[in-house]
Amino acid sequence: MAIIEAKNVSYIYGEDTTFAKKALDNVNLKIEEGEFIGLIGHTGSGKSTLVQHLNGLLKPSEGAIYIEGEDISKLGSKIKKVRQEIGLVFQYPEYQLFEETIIKDVSYGPQNLGLSKEEIDERVRDAIETVGLSYEKDGNKSPFEISGGQKRRVAIAGILAMEPKVLILDEPTAGLDPAGRDEILREIHEIYGKKKITIIIVSHSMEDIASLANRIIVMKDGKVYMDDKPREIFKHKEELEEIGLGVPQVTSFMRKLKEKGLDVDTSAITVAEAKNILTDLLRGKDNV
């Protein structure tokens, strides 16, 4: 059974007002446990609106969201459980840090779950270490005295401490410098490996998600425009460019080589793959 399913989901902001805006238009999706999904699209294509539906923060104007087969609009007060199971890290989550210490901030969520103190402590320690910070060294620091990238990781730890089944991150690299960006993507990759959870990363950058995601969903005008494995998605360079998205630089590079007459396989989506293809090609040439 799909962990999340969206069936014919449409959403209109300001319905019945003169400002009505259709942000989602008949979205159908099935997300299976263990997937690592890149949700990509131009600004305004509906990505944030969609992810806020997946944990019940927004309710569809039409259609329904199912979590493990249950229509979440029928859950009533049990919706809290969905919010815990489907963890959503907002854009610029560091603005929501407010406690005096990192430990207190990360504890905030689990404290509302009715857990024992030992269990809370264990989860908080694990979450802080999982995002690459030290519980002992950093735990008692103020979230305001650490770097921007570290603050963001503390915010992610706060969600991880809730032990969600699905972790959704809305533009986790927004506003970070290249080093901070690589660092956070590496952490997310590690979380995926370590925690065996389902991950959805929202991004408008193919570079960010190309080497991480095993499925890419492209949004356009509130609709699912493409939904496939990265390798298949990147075959549609022209369509992607038309909607303001590109393919990873390395895919673009391989296509340019082909255009210039070199007989290369253009399917590479990571630098490592491109290197292998080019090395094989050169070796082949040596043997001739």
Note the residues at the interface with ligand ADP (CB under 6 A). Answer: 13-14, 21, 23, 41, 43-49
Cβ of residue 56: shortest distance to ligand ADP, in angstroms?
Answer: 16
Q: Which is nearer to ligand ADP, 202 or 250 (CB)?
A: 202
Q: 155 and 92 in contact (C-beta within 8 Å)?
A: no
CB of 108: closest distance to ligand ADP in angstroms? 25
Residue 47 vs 153, nearer CB to ligand ADP: 47
Nearest to 186 by CA among 163, 156, 166, 161: 156
With a CB cutoff of 8 Å and minimum separation 6, the contacts of 233 are: 216, 218, 226, 240
Maximum alpha-carbon separation in the chain: 71
In the bound complex, what is the minimum distance in angstroms from residue 155's beta carbon to ligand ADP? Answer: 18
Give, as one character, the DSSP assignment of residue 163.
Answer: -
H or E stretch at 236: none
Nearest CB to ligand ADP, comparing residues 13 and 66: 13
Strand segments, DSSP code E, in the chain are 4-13, 21-31, 36-41, 62-67, 70-71, 86-89, 166-170, 198-203, 215-220, 223-228
At its nearest, how many Å lie between ligand ADP and the CB of residue 55? Answer: 15
Nearer to ligand ADP, 46 or 164 (CB): 46
Instruction: For ligand ADP, give the closer residue by CB, 91 or 276.
Output: 91
Backbone angles phi, psi at 69, to 5 degrees: 85, -5
**Cβ 101 to ligand ADP, closest distance in Å?**
32
